[in-house]
Structure 1
Amino acid sequence: MTLGRENVPDRRTVGVALAALLLVGAVVAVGAGAYFAVGLGPDEAALDAVESSGDVTVDRLDGATVVRSGPVTAETRGLVYYPGARVNAESYVPTAAEAVAGRDVAVVIVDMPLNLAVLGPNRADDAREALPAIESWAVGGHSLGGAMACRYAADNADEFDGLVLHASYCDRDVSESGLRVLSVLGAADGVLDAERERESRANLPPDARVVELDGVNHAGFGAYGPQRGDESVPTDPAAMRERVGNVTGAWLAG
Structure 2
Amino acid sequence: MSFVDRVRARWRLVIVALVALVVLALLGAAIFLLTPYTADPDRLAAVEEREDVTLERVDGAVILTGGEVTAETTGIVLYPGARVEPESYAPTMAPLVAERDVLVVIPEMPLNLAVLDSNAADDVMATHPEVDRWVVGGHSLGGAMACRYTAAHPDSADGLLLLAAYCDDGDDLRETDVPVLSIQGSEDGVIDAEAERENRALLGDRSRIVEIDGMNHAQFGAYGDQRGDDPATIADHEASDRLVERTLEWLDELEESPSVSVAAPAAAY
TM-score normalised per structure 2: 0.85
Q: 1:4-44, CA deviations, whole angstroms, 9 ceiling, x for partnerless residues?
A: 5434528xx97897577446524532431232232112101
Instruction: Note the 1:36-185 alignment, pairs <5 A.
Output: 36-171=33-168, 172-185=171-184
Q: Distance in 2 between matches of 1:253 and 1:105?
A: 12
User: SS of 1:170's equivalent?
Assistant: coil
User: SS of 1:42's equivalent?
Assistant: coil
Per the alignment, residue 256 of structure 2 pairs with none
Per the alignment, residue 231 of structure 1 pairs with 230
Q: Distance in 2 between matches of 1:213 and 1:134?
A: 30
Residue type of the partner of 1:193?
D
Distance 1:233 1:5, change over 3 A: closer
Residue type of the partner of 2:30?
G
Distance 1:130 1:23, change over 3 A: farther
Q: Distance in 2 between matches of 1:16 and 1:9?
A: 9
The number of aligned residues is 250
Q: Distance in 1 between matches of 2:121 and 2:235?
A: 31
Q: Distance in 1 between matches of 2:93 and 2:44?
A: 11
Q: Percent identity?
A: 49
Greater relative contact order (Cα < 8 A, sep 6+): 1
TM-score normalised per structure 1: 0.89
| CA apart distance, 1:148 | 1.0
Distance 1:63 1:15, change over 3 A: farther
| CA apart distance, 1:234 | 3.5
Q: Distance in 2 between matches of 1:30 and 1:252?
A: 44
Q: 1:58-90, CA deviations, whole angstroms, 9 ceiling, x for partnerless residues?
A: 110003111111110011111111111121111
Residue type of the partner of 1:251?
W
Residues 177 and 206 in structure 2, CA contact (< 8 A), matched pair in contact too: no
RMSD value, Cα: 2.1
Q: Structure 2, unaligned stretches of length 5 or more?
A: 254-269
| CA apart distance, 1:233 | 2.5
Residues 178 and 206 in structure 2, CA contact (< 8 A), matched pair in contact too: no
Per the alignment, residue 221 of structure 2 pairs with 222
Q: 1:145-183, CA deviations, whole angstroms, 9 ceiling, x for partnerless residues?
A: 101110111001111111100011111210121111111
Residues 100 and 249 in structure 1, CA contact (< 8 A), matched pair in contact too: no
| CA apart distance, 1:205 | 1.8
Distance 1:5 1:211, change over 3 A: closer
Q: Distance in 2 between matches of 1:33 and 1:250?
A: 41
Q: 1:86-111, CA deviations, whole angstroms, 9 ceiling, x for partnerless residues?
A: 21111101111122112111111011
199-208 or 34-43, which deviates more: 34-43
